[in-house]
Amino acid sequence: MQAWHRSRIATLLTGAVSVGLGVASCANTPAADVCEQARVHVHECLGVEVAATECVPAEAENLLAQDCVALDDGKADIFASGLCRLGFLSACKVPSCNDTAPSDTCADYINREDCSQCEYYTCREAHAPTACGAQGYYLDFAYDYCRRYKEVTASHMSAAGQKFLHDIRRCLMDTMQANLPETASCSAAETAGFNSHPTCYVQSGFCQLPVTDWILVLATISPSDLNFQQMLVTGVSCLKEWAR
């Protein structure tokens, strides 16, 4: 039964992506066509999800002219603006945060509502007995996605989606603060952090969001983190919620 749940969820989310692509093609115009073609092309090359957002046809044509090798070997950064406009939110630039007055403890950051809330993870990194570094869980994953969802994705979400992002930030931080001492190893932080995501997603209302918000959540995940995307698809058991 669990395997069926996972398969069904993957099917639903894949269908959601198709709906998102279809939004771009509602207007039967050449501009809409080139935008849709570019979305499909980049999705096939990078494997990341796509949301229907604003599109500049000239940028879409530029992306269509690039083969998968060019998009997949690190050169995609060159086309970040176009990718962002096409709905690949993982490529969007995250605004800088100037509200970074230090807190006395890492836990103090959790209750902040401004962009400095995500500094919870840099604080954890600073207090870790051995620095996890720029490629570690705290900085490369938790902090990066906290900031990206808060400063980039939220503005595209519905009111329910924005509440979900607010609640899941708190859930992930509260869960880590309650269950993982600051002296924990980098590997323990990574394991605990990833393990908390499916439960927090369900508890924070992911299953009740409109399909368009699901697409936006997945579209924020970088091609380098597709294993995380797959974990969400298979681990967020929304069918159990719907069955209640």
Position 26 scores a pLDDT of: 39
Over the range 130-156, which residues count as b (16 or more CB within 10 Å of their CB) and which as e?
Answer: eebeeebbbbbbbbbbbbbbbbbbbeb
What pLDDT score was predicted for residue 126?
Answer: 92
Radius of gyration (Cα) for the chain, nearest Å?
A: 19
Q: Give residue 81's pLDDT.
A: 83
Provide the pLDDT for residue 109.
Answer: 94
- List per-residue pLDDT tens for the chain, 244 residues long: 334 333 434 444 444 444 344 443 334 446 678 888 998 998 888 887 788 777 888 888 988 998 888 887 655 677 888 888 888 898 899 998 887 778 889 999 999 999 899 999 999 999 998 889 999 999 999 999 999 999 999 999 999 999 999 999 999 999 999 999 999 999 999 999 999 998 899 899 998 899 899 889 988 988 888 777 767 766 676 755 554 5
- Residue 28 has a pLDDT of 42
- At residue 11, the pLDDT reads 43
Q: What is the pLDDT of residue 10?
A: 43
Cβ pair 120, 147 in contact under 8 A: no
Please tell me the predicted confidence (pLDDT) of residue 75.
59
Q: Residue 30: its pLDDT value, please?
A: 60
Q: With CA atoms as reference, report the closest residue to 90 among 204, 226, 233, 219.
A: 219
pLDDT score recorded for residue 124: 95
Burial class (CB in 10 A: 0-12, 13-18, 19+), 54: exposed
Give the pLDDT confidence score for residue 235 in this predicted structure: 67
